[in-house]
Structures are given as structure tokens and as C-alpha cells.
Amino acid sequence: MQINPNKDTQLCMSLSGRPGNFGLRFHNHLYEQLGLNFYYKAFSSRDLPGAVGGIRALGIRGCGVSMPFKEACIALVDELDPSAAAIQSINTIVNTNGHLKAYNTDYIAIAQLLQSHAVPKDSTFALRGSGGMAKAVASALRDGGYKHGLIVARNEATGRALAESLGYEWQAELGARRPQMLINVTPIGMTGGPEADQLAFEPETIAAAQTVFDVVAIPSETPLIVRARADGKRVITGLEVIAIQALEQFVLYTGVRPNLEQFEKAVAFARSA
């Protein structure tokens, strides 16, 4: 079924500092394939309260929330689902008759990926970053039984707070440490950013690791992932994260869960742009 928007079409959207096409193509492809009267559009905004107020006022059904808005949006919604309340970070807003409830489907995606990639639970790890997405990743690691972790963040206040809240260490820089798993949860390597061509970790640190996980999804093959693949490491990509969390958002917005074939076709379509 081709999407033909009308007065009854339900709008969903995303808010991001650097909007991409993946979510737009993923959701709209599934709406069309499943015959749902929805439409999805990506936005950015310098007026976050105004944007969230617009979701409520205009009856927009759902909104995906990306960096740098995952924590700032909390004060603007009416209710936090336990998935968001536990880590004080959101990535999804669902509007039900003007009531805005926030969720965190990033957490679900991270937990699934650690399991599906069979990352050993006794792995030592270093996570670079201390923002909203870092909270989701670090919380999924903690809850998944990964006990030996280091939060690497130049912002001592947020880095130390995140580490202490989850029972991990904090350092401003990785230094001579050589953990078995490296996780980047910063914009380093992101297309369009000032550090788009940079590695989130030094080459010798990557060479010593067993698993490399980059949450950055644009591009799908960041400099860190390219280097890790060349070194023969187990890799987890931001594309995998964004696909799973988008699926869970789709279910929250529509109440419909696509089957595996429909999901995989939507991911392939979203990547083809």
C-alpha cells in the first residue's frame, strides 16, 4: 500500500542534533508495507521546549529523541516508563491524547546486541562518553553482568557520576589501560561533525581489544569500526543499535510488531539511501 497522507494520517517524527534518513525511511517503509496510515519526518530544533510542546499540541503520535536531547527532554514530558526512569535518559516519546510518556529503547537494543554477539560477560571494558546514550549503554552492561568497567570522560562531573552510579571506575583519559572491549558513545567519527575522520581510541588500544562497539550510526562504518574490522575484532555497529531501537519505537507508536522478514527488509531499505 502506497502512503497517501490525509486528514486522519498520524504523524511521527524524530528530534536530533544531526537528523539522518535511516529512521524516516525505516518507519515509512513499514507503514507502507503494513498498510498503516502513518507518516514519519525527521527534524532538528534549537527550541526544544517549543518542539516538545508542538508534539503535544498538534497530536503527533510519537517522537524519536537523539543526541543531544536525551536528557533535556525529561523535564518536558509527563511520565517516564521504567526503561527511562531507571537511567534518566529517554529516546522515545509517545503521545496519547496529549499525555507524553517517555521510554528508552536504546537500552533494549544494547542488551539484545551484547547477547546476540556473545560478548563474554567477564570482559573488561572502557566506555568513552557520559551523556544520555552512555547511560543507556552502561546500564545495559551493568544489568547484563559486565562488572569490570571504566567510564572515560573528560567531563569529570558527569563521568564520575555515571561511573559511581553503576559501580564502575572513571578516568578522564584511557591512558595505558588495554580493556578487552572498547565502546564509543561520543560523536567522534560521526558524519558532519568536527571529528568525523578521527578514531575514538588509539590504534594500539584497538589492536589489543577483542570487541569494538561504536554507537555512532552515521556512517554505518565509522573509522573505529573500519579499523576494528581490519584488525579482525568482533564488532557491534551503531546501525545495529539504531535498527533494533527503531523497531521497538515502531511497536510503541503503532501497536504492531513486524515479523523478522519485514524488519530486515525495512533495515535494508533504510540503508539503501
3-class secondary-structure state, position 60: coil
3-class secondary-structure state, position 176: coil
What the block records as the C-alpha cell of 267 is 533495515
Question: How many other β-carbons are positioned within 10 Å of the β-carbon of residue 181?
Answer: 24
Name the residues annotated as catalytic. Answer: 70
Task: Give yes or no for a contact between 183 and 123, defined as CB atoms under 8 angstroms apart.
Answer: no
3-class secondary-structure state, position 200: coil
Look at residues 194, 188, 245 and name the one whose alpha carbon lies nearest to residue 222. 188
Across the strands, what pairs with 66?
none
- Phi, psi of 203, deg, nearest 5: -55, -40
- CA torsion sign for 255, 256, 257, 263 is negative
Q: What is the DSSP string of 206-270?
A: HHH-SEEEE---SSSS-HHHHHHHHTT-EEE-HHHHHHHHHHHHHHHHHS----HHHHHHHHHHH
